[in-house]
Amino acid sequence: MVAPGAQTRNRTTMHQPPDALLAPRFTGPRTFARLPNLRDLAGAEVAVFGIPWDGGASFRPGARFGPEAVRSASGCIRTYNPVQKVQVFGSLSCIDHGDAPTAPGYIEETLARIASFVEPIAQAGVIPVGIGGDHSATLGELRALAAVHGPLGLVHIDSHTDLWDRYNGLPFAHGTMFRRAIEEGVVDPSRFIQAGMHGTLYGEDDDLIPGQLGVEMVPWSELETLSPAGFAERVRARIGDGPTFLTFDIDFVDAAFAPGTGTPEIGGPTSREAISYVRALRGIPFVGYDCMEVSPPYDGPGQVTAVLAANVVFEFLSLIALQRR
């Protein structure tokens, strides 16, 4: 088992984007923020990777193209985060590690392949940051990280609880994976907090599911009354000091700001509000991150959903840089 603080590596190589003043940001292959595309983890502290998968989607498909869209939208990202007051690229050695393998049409095999892809990243002491892809794929990441770190805490920002037992009578879908994670022992429900839930449900009993499983749920109607700092206090009180995963579903954001997703919901936060909740999560021992459910066929002019997701990922990297500093 690797302790949460053990990711700091002796670095002899600094992986970072090329200088945008020498190589314009619209040039070169589409990697995340123009990072080097490397399979070799040597010298890396963070490995950003894609999860091109939508076999668990229940409504609108297309999230298999999410990683490609987010990478394209990330070309405008610069190196310094002025809100967090941290230099990200240039102080944190990051690579684009390519895409996790998937098996179209075979969700259980895909989850196994994702886990096999992510586990060596964690074993190397590198922090994985996934770009999806429908949310069912997160179960593969959680399995891999729990194999290295032990049972995980989970911070889940979403419109939906994703704790149903079955979808269409079957156990694996993008609405069931966190129940599976609890059942498999890869997530500790006593260290699991989910926030932002809004939208219609199948029945009154749906609201009771998190409590029945021992999960703390903060619906959007409550979250919107909390400041980002207040939310972060709730998270820290729930999570404690153990290894934790942060997963962000883009459909948490109001569909006016993030239309490009498989199950859009209205009445949620703006993109500014959503990213403020992420920024507040400083100092939490995250051992992995992902941003999921970007479906570019449904995105609006200017690819606003993909641009938002790219900046959410940059905020993940900022949290890592702050922790390392």
Q: Among residues 114, 116, 126, which one has the least CA distance to residue 53?
A: 114
Geometric angle at alpha carbon 319, from 318 and 324, rounded to 5°: 95
pTM above 0.85, yes or no: yes
Task: Report the b/e string of 184-211 with b at 16+ CB within 10 A.
Answer: eebbbbebbbbbbbbeeeeeeeeeebbe
What integer is the mean pLDDT of 124-152? 98
pLDDT of residue 156: 98
pLDDT of residue 171: 86
List own/partner pairs for 178-186 with CB under 8 A and 24 or more apart: 178/138, 178/139, 178/154, 178/215, 179/213, 180/139, 181/139, 181/142, 181/143, 181/154, 182/213, 182/214, 182/215, 184/143, 185/146, 185/151, 186/142, 186/143, 186/145, 186/146, 186/151, 186/152
The set of residues, in sequence order, having a beta carbon less than 8 Å from that of 301 and lying 6+ positions away, is none
CATH topology for the 4-324 domain: Arginase; Chain A (3.40.800)
Considering the chain, what is the average pLDDT of its residues?
A: 94
CA distance 56 to 105: 9
Q: What is the DSSP track for 110-123?
A: HHHHHHHHHHHHHH
pLDDT of residue 1: 53
Tens of pLDDT, residue by residue over 231-282, are: 999 999 999 999 999 999 999 999 999 999 999 999 999 999 999 999 999 9
pLDDT of residue 25: 67
